[in-house]
């Protein structure tokens, strides 16, 4: 299978610092990639490059066969602080991407939004503003906002870092359900090893100076359940690799 995303000799320099020096990567369609690594190693930068927010100093990134020069309509981004606007209700926030995208039948938007809010269990909060919602509810609204346009690529920067442990597990399960429904490719950054092992099909471990290492996570399509010994063995293994990389984890 041809890779969905390829990075070819990608160099990224900012403020005299080389974050990536000739990075080569390929990512497959429909998989979930977890990106881990010490603070400041370039995880957010990698996501921003994939999103098209920033451009490589040299080298090329292609997604679905096309070179990335700017943001793509089919790429969605879930921000670490969610980036919900205080002036939008849940409905308004989720409807916004539909209204922005060009060729859509506007009269269908209402029902698309309601259906999505319903499937994320937040329909009863549809008219609430962010300050009226809990952390988990806000997370769902932000997730709905990124998914409503049916993206083929979902990028997430530490999506659950602000949540308490219980809410985090609910959101993770929700994400897995949505992912399996949609055949999206997802790339997410996390500093939570358990999260990387639980959600990721593959784990990309970034080391300083743009070196990286793949940690194969799951066998075939078999997910790792949190209850199994295999899950914790895998977490132990990932932790070990992270420590071997030099810097300790966050």
Partner 1 sequence: MSKLKRSLFHPLPMGFMMIIMIWYVLYLVIATRTIPAPLETFNYFFRHLHPLVIHMGASLMRVVVAVVLAILIGLPVGIAIGRSKRLDKVLSPLLYIIYPIPKVAFLPVFMLLFGLGNVSKVILMLFIIVFQLMLSVRDGVKDIPPHYFTVIRSFSARRKYLYRYVVLPAILPRIFSSLRISIGISLATLFFAENYATTYGIGYFILSAWMKMNYVEMFSGIIALSLLGSVLFGVIDMLEKRLTPWL
| Site size for partner 1 (CB under 8 A) | 24
Q: Which is nearer to Mg ion, 44 or 170 (CB)?
A: 44
Does 9 bind partner 1 (CB under 8 A)? Our answer is no
181 binds, among Mg ion, ligand ADP, partner 1, none (CB under 5 to 8 A by kind): none
Q: Of the ranges 12-20, 105-113, 166-174, 215-223, which one interacts with ligand ADP (CB under 6 A)?
A: 12-20
Distances in Å between the Cα of 195 and the Cα atoms of 48, 183, 235 are 21, 20, 9
Q: Of the ranges 87-95, 107-115, 226-234, 240-248, which one interacts with partner 1 (CB under 8 A)?
A: 87-95
Q: Of the ranges 19-27, 57-65, 99-107, 108-116, which one interacts with partner 1 (CB under 8 A)?
A: 99-107
- Spatial neighbors of 36 by CB under 8 A, at least 6 apart, are 43, 189, 190, 191, 193, 196, 203, 204, 205, 206, 238, 242, 249
Does 232 bind partner 1 (CB under 8 A)? Our answer is no
59 binds, among partner 1, Mg ion, ligand ADP, none (CB under 5 to 8 A by kind): none
**What is d(CA 52, CA 54) in angstroms, rounded to the nearest whole number?**
5
Does 44 bind Mg ion (CB under 5 A)? Our answer is yes
Does 41 bind ligand ADP (CB under 6 A)? Our answer is yes
Q: Which is nearer to partner 1, 76 or 109 (CB)?
A: 76
77 binds, among partner 1, Mg ion, ligand ADP, none (CB under 5 to 8 A by kind): partner 1
In the bound complex, what is the minimum distance in angstroms from residue 74's beta carbon to partner 1?
9
Residues in contact with partner 1 by CB under 8 A are 51, 53, 71-73, 75-77, 79, 81, 83, 85-89, 96-97, 99-101, 129, 131, 149
Residues in contact with ligand ADP by CB under 6 A are 14-15, 17, 19, 37, 39-45
């Amino acid at each position: 299978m041809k890779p969905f995303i390829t990075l070819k000799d990608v160099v990224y320099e900012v403020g005299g610092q080389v974050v990536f020096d000739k990075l080569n990567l390929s990512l497959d369609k429909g998989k979930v990639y977890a990106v881990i690594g010490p603070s400041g190693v370039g995880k957010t930068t990698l996501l921003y490059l994939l999103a098209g927010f920033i451009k490589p100093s040299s080298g090329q990134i292609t997604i679905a066969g096309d070179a990335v020069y700017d943001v793509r309509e089919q790429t969605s981004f879930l921000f670490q602080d969610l980036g919900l606007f205080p002036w939008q209700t849940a409905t308004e926030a989720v409807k916004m991407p539909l209204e922005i995208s060009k060729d859509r039948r506007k009269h269908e938007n209402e029902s698309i939004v309601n259906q999505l809010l319903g499937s994320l269990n937040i329909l009863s909060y549809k008219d609430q503003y962010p300050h009226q919602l809990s952390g988990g509810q806000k997370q769902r609204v932000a997730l709905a906002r990124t998914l409503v346009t049916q993206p083929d690529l979902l990028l997430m920067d530490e999506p659950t870092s602000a949540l308490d442990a219980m809410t985090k597990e609910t959101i993770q399960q929700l994400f897995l359900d949505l992912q399996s429904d949609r055949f999206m490719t997802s790339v997410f950054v996390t500093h939570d090893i358990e999260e990387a092992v639980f959600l990721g099909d593959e784990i990309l471990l970034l080391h300083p100076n743009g070196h990286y290492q793949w940690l194969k996570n799951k066998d075939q399509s078999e997910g790792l359940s949190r209850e199994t010994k295999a899950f914790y063995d895998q977490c132990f293994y990932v932790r070990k690799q992270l420590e071997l990389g030099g810097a300790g984890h966050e």
